[in-house]
Amino acid sequence: MNNFTQKILAILAFCMLLLGLILLSKQKPTPFHRAVYHWKSTFARSSYDLDENKFFEAHSIRKIYLKMLDVDYSEAGLIIPVSKTRIDYYISPENDSLVYVPVVYISNRVIQFMPTQDIDYYAKLFLEHTLRIETYTNRGVNEVQIDCDWTEGTKDKYFLLLQRMRYWMPNLKYSVTLRLYPFKYRTKLGVPPVNRVMLMMYNLENAKKMELNNSLFDPNVAAKYVTKTPYPLPTDFAIPAFSWSLLFRHGQFLRVFSDNILDELENEKSRYVGVNEAYVKYRKLGYNKFLIEETPSFYNDYDLRAGDILKIESCGADELKQASALIIRFHPRKDATIAIFDFDLKELNKISYEDLEAAYTPLH
Amino acid sequence: MKTLKLLILLCINAVVNFLPQELKACGFTLYKEEWRFWTFDPNIGADPGLRRMFYSIDFFHEGFQNSYFYDPFEDDKFHETDEYQTNVKQWLKHCKELDPNNSLTEKDITTLLYETLPQDYFKLREGLIKENKFMAFLFQHASLLAYIDFAKKCEYFSNYPKETWACDDCPRIISPSHIEKGSRYNYTWYESIPNDTNQTPQLIELGKQMLAKTQDLFLKERIAFQMVRLSYYQGLFESTNAYYQQYLANLPNNNWLKNNALMYTVLKLEGAEKNIGLARIFGVCPDKRYRCVQLFDKSFFEATLKLTKNIHEEALVRIIFAINQPMEQLQNLQKITQLEPNNPLLPMLWVREINKLEDWVMGSYYSEFGSTRFDYWDEFRLQAIQNQRKKDLVYAAQVTKVLEQTYQNSRPAYKDMYALCLGFVKFMQKDLNGAQQAYALVQTEKLNQIAKVQFALCKAMLTLSNAEKITPKMEEEVAAVLHLLQTNQTLYPQRREMLYSLVNFMAKEFIQRGENAKGLMLYGFSAKPYASHPLLGLGNVYTQIYTHVSPQDIDHMLHIIGKTNKTALEKFLCGKVFQYTYDYDSESKQIWDINKLRDIQSMLWVQEDKLFEAYKVLQQIDTSYWSNDVYQDFKVDNPFCLNPWNAHLPMNFTKVQYNKASFLKELIRLKTSLPQLKGEEKARVLMSVANAYYSMTYNGKYWIMQKNYQGGGEPWEDSSDVDPTYYSGARARYYYKQILQTSKDPKLIGGTVYILQVAFENSNSQSAANKMVLKNNMEAKDIYEQMSMNCDLFYEFIKTYNYFGPPKKINARTS
């Protein structure tokens, strides 16, 4: 090869490299479906919710995963519906372009203590409560989602419950939420008998441990669950943008409030300060923990007691971005949905439009 | 569809037509109990545990079930939770018997039994061992722990029915793929649904086993009680009865477990059967009295009487019925007295009658809202109140007669109380001598604290009513009673309400005896509504003063406030006053606002067109006073500029800023310059003066010069001719008319006629009179007509002829 040929080849190689770079720069992000989770105790939808409708429009959101029921186990009442979402639906179905996927949250203790002979009864009962949304929208739902942190010990009963649900309503599609742990250890924890899974990129650690600073999301911890092979079921992705308040009494976890309740306590304080000093008094213990020092006798919506400790955990724009960036490493398919958890305009408005758009469009 | 629309329109029309015609403000509703007049302390007839059965508007007037204001949580504040305390004490005793060396406290037991939700209990159970000695004790005594676990589960199923699986808006899956729609509009009324039937049988089974197994009588009774309750909430009424009969019926009558269980056996009954059961519980279980009264069905009263087995039961039924009745109960009282003359609840029932009467007879006189027998917005109420008052006085006379007999026959312990009632009911009828004689029967040295205060109050009211003029001695007596009611209000909360009613009474009595200043100042110490306000709904002390005061009265008030050696009453009057009625928060009280009083005084002077007097008063007001929200408006506008189309429109071409004082100063200056001016110059100053007066009318932007507030009921310029006697409307018109006699300028004449037409004189006769002025002045007529058709022309006129600053030739006087 003479010098001339070498030069030609070098120029060609350079041109190809340049072309490659140009093509790479023009590659569009994968157009995933966009959704949000609604995890509040009341779901209100009307044509007059201009802000909400604008938000859905601006981010091309077409799907809402709507929590309909929260089931827990208590020695007091056994298997109990601790929260049924109230529906205030005032929009004509033809004007409602959203698709609803009703979700039922079932605590693992429910599965643990559910008598095997009652599984069929509860499968039907949970489904009825979940399909309650149809009563309001006058439209049949296509998909139902079950949210449960099952373990190896409860796997069989849980999967049986899912099968019995399919028995009662075979035409529906079923999805379940999937933590990162069962995503990675799929052999041990099994693959649920459903159509899809929703991989939750958060809730990484045990929130009930008071000493943890933030159990919600850590990109380094999340990255440990990346696998070489995709999950055997079509996978959607939930990314976090929410706050919650964890209440501990006598050092034990008691309950969780799906919001930062300090805002509300501050509101109450501004209303009552100087009047009767009738508001919850608290002080910061460090980072995100707060000690309840005094509670009034008549306003105490959260049933707080002196000595209780509140831990506030939040995921904002940074966590949302980091979680979104990780999605690509979990083998997403083209038809995957990315859902932000959860839909709270007050919180989401703190995140810029661009950041939210970026979260919905992770790059390869 | 058209028919439907028509129907809807007709309905709206009907609603609008039949709405109260005197609604003063949007959305404001006065709650009857807030203005009810009462100065007679119900506690003198009963112990505080019965307070929920005292006469009041909200609980019994409309009946519990129908009362809009009924709030069970409010009731809980008054609930004397004796049974809780009894239970805690019983637990403490039982634990002592099991282990005499334990160090349990009532607090530990109360926390666990009554302050820990069942859901939380099971989450925290082990964690509580360290924190709660009772929990630790339970873990050492398995049978007790098993019972508390069981009781907490039962509590959950009894108290948290909303956490059940019942669901009306859920679809029903009939068979695979076969679904039946839910109903959106059929919300579950949580109280009416049974608990989850899938889970409770296990609990009932557990209870049965425990009942069979335990030998501990203390636990056995409690398990049986839980079974009664659980069975009741599961709708297993036969079991409810059976458990009660087998385990609890033989306990003593004062056993709280027995009585509570008995309540469940009665609740399942209906009509008269239920009523008689309730009456029996009412008789033996003080803690359940209130609930029994609530549940008693008045419509079965006669039928219930037929089921009574003895005199005592009949008395009980009548007592419950009487407590449940908002209106006259004299006949029933007589009957109860006949049946059981020494029934301990009789004094309370008598005081209820007194409280009713004072509301009906005195309430209709001592506040603008009248007796609570009537809705205050009822336009026919004034006549109705008068008619009803006559009937109430007849009833008062009947009550007096029976009370006299009751006093004669009563036990010595009740005599003083009845004498007080008798005196007060006579006082209400203006039988002042009779009242005096009845009060003389009271042996004051034997009275308890509450009765002593009541006696002093009754005497002071009587003294005041007897007087033609207020003497210093009377003032002392009044001050002493007011002080008595003010003190220890935390201990005796009823005194607060009594104080407010008494203040309303005394204020009116003082004013009627010529003591305007003191009377009006007294209103500052009442949060009980006494006057209506066209805009706010309720008058406050300053609006009350503004409405009824004279400039001299304000001088008197300021004198009292400024005095160094104050009498006892003056000291009271100079305390902090309520800024608003209907505001029970003593923290929001403030000291008298002297600037506000002076401001009101200046308004009164302006109303009389005594501008120098008004200006002198305003000069004494601190500058900071003008920085409040209302007066901020003055700083941005010019009252000498006017657009009669919209007199509130800012027209501050000259960029001059005014407050009340500087405005008056300028007006006085212009007015005093007038005699020295002639021709067009005078006409233009006249225009400024007229504009200024117009600004001070209710239509103008400076109405606050002479009005404390502007109400929605004011006559507006476009509705009719202005009443010339109404504030300064007539004065403004006088100066506009002066322009017509002074000026030759056709533009000014045409424009002035136009202002007169637009702002004052809409009627044909007035209009014709004004046009006569233009008859011989074609140019002015032309300008007038053009202005009528072209807004821009009039706007130009305003800019040219409105306030142009002080005339240069004249040295204006200041004041």
Q: Report whether pLDDT(B381) > 80.
A: no
- In this predicted complex, what is the ipTM? 0.84
pLDDT at residue A195, rounded to an integer:
97
Q: Do B182 and A251 touch (CB under 8 A)?
A: no
Residue range B772-784: average pLDDT?
86
- B778 with B768: CB under 8 angstroms? no
Question: Would the pLDDT of B721 be above 90?
Answer: no
- How many domains does chain A contain in total? 2
CB < 8 Å to A171, chain B: 177
pLDDT tens-digit map of B672-711: 999 999 899 999 999 999 989 988 887 788 888 988 876 5
Chain position carrying tokens 């932007």 = B701
Judge whether residue A208 has pLDDT over 90. no
Both A198 and A91 in one domain: the answer is: yes
pLDDT at B478: 96
Mean pLDDT in residue range A173-189: 95
Q: Is A207 in the B-facing interface, judged by CB distances under 8 Å?
A: no
Residue B61 confidence (pLDDT) above 50: no
Pairing mode, strands A63-74 and A78-84? antiparallel
pLDDT at B800: 80
Choose the most confident range, by mean pLDDT, from B198-202, B214-218, B634-638: B214-218
| pLDDT higher than 70, residue B712 | no
So what's the pLDDT on residue B92? 96
H or E element in which residue A104 lies: strand A99-106
A154 and A74 within one domain: yes
- Under the banding of pLDDT at 50, 70 and 90, the label for residue B191 is very low
> Which of A233, A230, A232 lies closest to A327, judged by CA?
A230
Burial (CB count within 10 angstroms: exposed 0-12, middle 13-18, buried 19+), residue B432: middle
* B522 pLDDT above the threshold of 90: yes
Distance CA B146, CA B140 (A): 11
Of B124, B176, B182, the CB nearest to A254: B124
By Cβ distance, the residue of A76, A128, A171 closest to B171 is A128
pLDDT recorded at residue B654: 61
Instruction: Round to the nearest angstrom and report the end-to-end CA distance of chain A.
Output: 39
Q: How confident is the model at residue B649 (pLDDT cuts 50, 70, 90)?
A: low
- Alpha-helix residue ranges (DSSP H) falling in B179-329: 200-213, 217-233, 237-243, 256-267, 271-284, 289-295, 301-307, 311-323
Average pLDDT, chain B: 83
Q: pLDDT class for A9, splitting at 50, 70, 90?
A: confident
Among B36-50, B310-324, B623-637, which stretch is predicted with the lowest mean pLDDT?
A: B623-637
For A249, the closest of B124, B170, B173 (CB atoms) is: B124
Predicted confidence at residue B152, as pLDDT, reads 92
Contact B163 A169 (CB under 8 A): no
Please report residues of A whose CB lies closer than 8 A to that of B585: 275
B123 → closest Cβ in A132, A254, A274: A254
Q: Are residues A224 and A146 both part of a single domain?
A: yes
Q: Kindly state the average pLDDT of the residues A101-122.
A: 94
C-beta neighbour count of B241 within 10 angstroms: 18
Distance from CA of B171 to the nearest CA of A (A): 6
Nearest to A171 among B124, B157, B177 (CB): B177
The yes-or-no verdict on residue B63 having pLDDT over 50 is no
Q: What is the pLDDT of residue B671?
A: 93
Give the rounded percent of residues in chain A with a pLDDT score beyond 90: 50
Res A39: pLDDT: 92
Distance CA B525, CA B530 (A): 11
Chains A, B: CB pairs < 8 Å = 102
Least confidently predicted of A151-155, B115-119, B810-814: B810-814
Query: Do A355 and A261 share a structural domain?
Result: no
Structure pTM?
0.69
State the CB neighbour count (10 A cutoff) for residue B146: 17
Instruction: Find chain B residues with C-beta within 8 A of A131's C-beta.
Output: 170-171, 179
**In the predicted structure, residue B264 carries a pLDDT above the cut 80:** yes
Q: B121 contacts in A (CB within 8 Å)?
A: 76
pLDDT higher than 90, residue A187: yes
Question: Comparing B656 with B556, which gets the higher pLDDT?
Answer: B556
Q: Write out pLDDT tens, residues B156-176.
A: 877 765 567 878 789 999 999
Over the stretch B292-310, which tens digit does the pLDDT of each residue have? Answer: 988 999 999 999 999 999 9
Highest average pLDDT, of B11-25, B450-464, B622-636, comes from: B450-464
Mean pLDDT of the B57-68 span: 46
Question: Which residues touch B314 (CB under 8 Å, ≥6 apart)?
Answer: B305, B308, B339
What pLDDT shows up at residue A158? 97
Average of per-residue pLDDT across A110-132: 93
User: Mind giving me the DSSP string for B368-390?
Assistant: TT--TTS-TT-TTHHHHHHHHHH
Same structural domain, A273 and A152 = no
Q: What pLDDT sits at residue A254? A: 87
Overall average pLDDT of the B58-63 stretch? 47
To the nearest whole Å, the CA of B175 is away from the closest chain A CA by: 7
Same domain, A145 and A291: no
pLDDT at B503: 96
Task: Find chain B residues with C-beta within 8 A of A127's C-beta.
Answer: 173
pLDDT of B272 > 80? The answer is yes
Could you tell me the pLDDT band of residue B31, with boundaries at 50, 70 and 90?
confident
Q: What is the mean pLDDT of chain A?
A: 87
Residue A253 inside a domain? The answer is yes
Residue A216 structural domain: 30-242+315-360
Using CB atoms within 10 Å of the CB of residue B809, give its burial: 0 to 12 exposed, 13 to 18 middle, 19+ buried: exposed
**pLDDT for B3 beyond 50:** no
* Phi, psi for B766 (deg, rounded to 5): -65, -45
CB contact under 8 A, A76 and B153: yes
pLDDT on residue A196: 96
Verify whether the Cβ–Cβ distance A129 to B131 is below 8 Å: no
Q: What tokens were used for A207? A: 């929130």
The reported pLDDT for the residue numbered B446 is 87
Question: pLDDT at residue B68 above 80?
Answer: no
A169 touches B at CB < 8 Å: yes
Tell if the CB–CB gap between A77 and B169 is shorter than 8 Å.
Answer: no
A127–chain B Cβ distance below 8 A for any pair = yes
B153 touches chain A (CB under 8 A): yes
pLDDT at B250 (0 to 100): 92
pLDDT over threshold 60, residue A175: yes
Under the banding of pLDDT at 50, 70 and 90, the label for residue B536 is: confident
Q: How far apart are CA B244 and CA B261, in angstroms?
A: 6
What pLDDT is attached to residue B436? 96
- The tens digit of pLDDT for each residue in B788-799 reads 888 778 878 887
pLDDT at B789: 82
Amino acid B644: pLDDT: 65
Distance in Å, alpha carbon of B199 to nearest chain A alpha carbon: 7
Which chain B residue is nearest to residue A88, measuring alpha carbons?
A: B184
Same domain, A247 and A184: no
CB pair distance less than 8 Å for B124 and A125: no
- Whether the per-residue pLDDT at B222 is higher than 70: the answer is yes
Q: Does A57 touch chain B (CB under 8 A)?
A: no
State residue A99's pLDDT score. 95
Q: What pLDDT, on the 0 to 100 scale, is given for residue A298?
A: 57
Of all residues in chain B, what percent carry a pLDDT higher than 90? 49
Per residue in B558-605, pLDDT (tens digit) is: 999 999 999 999 999 999 999 877 766 666 789 999 999 999 999 999
Residues A198 and A305 in one domain: no
Give the closest of A77, A79, A134 to B171, CB-based. Answer: A134
Quick one: pLDDT band at residue B252, thresholds 50, 70, 90? confident
Q: What is the pLDDT of residue B641?
A: 81
Interface test with B, best of A84, A85, A277 (most B CBs within 10 A): A84
**Range B363-387 average pLDDT:** 79
Residue A135 has pLDDT above 50, yes or no: yes
Question: Is the pLDDT higher at B719 or at B603?
Answer: B603
pLDDT of residue A70: 92
Residue B813: predicted pLDDT: 39
Residues 244-283 of A with CB under 8 A from B: 249-254, 274-275
Count the helix, strand and coil residues of chain A and give each as a percent rounded to the nearest 5: 35, 30, 35
Structure confidence at residue B62 (pLDDT):
38
Q: What's the rounded Cα separation, in Å, for the pair B517 and B523?
A: 10
Q: By the CB < 8 Å criterion, does B650 face chain A?
A: no
| Residues A194 and A274 placed together within one structural domain of the fold | no
pLDDT at res. A299: 57
Interchain contact, B173 vs A128, CB within 8 Å: yes
Question: Given this model, what pLDDT does residue B565 score?
Answer: 94
Is pLDDT at B489 greater than 70 in this prediction? yes
Q: Give a yes or no: residue A24 inside a domain.
A: no
Which is more confidently placed, B70 or B497?
Answer: B497
Are A230 and A321 contained in the same domain? yes
The residue of chain A nearest to residue B77, with distances taken between CA atoms, is A298
Reported as a pLDDT band with limits 50, 70 and 90, residue B11 is very low
Same domain? A235 vs A255: no
Residue-wise pLDDT tens digits, A252-274: 888 888 888 888 888 777 666 55
User: Are A187 and A285 part of one and the same domain?
Assistant: no
Is residue A15 in some structural domain?
no
In whole angstroms, give the CA distance from residue B759 to residue B647.
Answer: 9
Cα distances from B632 to residues A73, B653, B657, B752, in angstroms, run 62, 18, 10, 30
pLDDT for the residue A360: 93
CA distance A261 to chain B (A): 19
Does position B747 have pLDDT exceeding 50, yes or no? yes
The predicted pLDDT at position A129 comes to 94
**Residue B52: its pLDDT value, please?**
76
Contact state of B176 with A170 under an 8 Å Cβ cutoff:
yes
- Least confident stretch, A31-35, A237-241, B368-372, B713-717: B713-717
